[in-house]
Structure formats: structure tokens, C-alpha cells
Amino acid sequence: MNDALSYKKALEEIESIVEEIENETVDVDILAEKVNRGAFLIKYCKAKLKATDNEVKKILKEFEKEDKDTEPD
């Protein structure tokens, strides 16, 4: 079984943690652990979004270059 963290899994876990905290169902003894895990997941998601954004920008630049290269003189 592949337990690799994905953006979707991280987001679902963040939502679950937020729900637990909002509903006050988190035991005070593990609250700090939940907040720490949430912070880690948020950093992970932000990094994943930034990497995806950079990749998309790179691809779009390649398309723009190809369009310029194929324009008639």
C-alpha cells in the first residue's frame, strides 16, 4: 500500500483537524500535536502549489516560445 502524501490527502487531513478543533472534540493532551501536524500539512500544501505554479508557468513559456518561433516573418 502506498502511503505517500498527496495534496488531496493533506487537504483532507487539514479539514479533519480543523473540524475536530472547531467541534472541540480534540483532547487537550493531543491538541498541540494536531496543531503541529496541521502546520506541517499547510506548509506541504503551499510548497506543492508553488511547485505546480512554477511548472505551469514553465510550460506556458515554452508554448509562447513555440508560437513566436512559428510566426511568419
pLDDT digits (tens, 9 = 90+) for 21-42: 999 988 999 999 999 999 999 9
Q: Can you tell me the distance from the alpha carbon of 16 to that of 37, in angstroms, rounded to the nearest whole number?
A: 11
Give the rounded percent of residues in the chain with a pLDDT score beyond 90: 73
- Are the beta carbons of 17 and 37 closer than 8 angstroms? yes
| Number of other CB atoms surrounding residue 41 within 10 Å | 20
pLDDT of residue 2: 45
Query: Residue 31's domain spans which residues?
Result: 7-70
State the pTM of this model.
Answer: 0.78
The verdict on residue 1 lying in a domain is no
The verdict on residue 2 lying in a domain is no
DSSP 24: T
DSSP 65: H
Structurally, how many domains does the chain consist of? 1
- The set of cell numbers assigned to 16 is 479533519
Q: Can you tell me the distance from the alpha carbon of 66 to that of 23, in angstroms, rounded to the nearest whole number?
A: 53
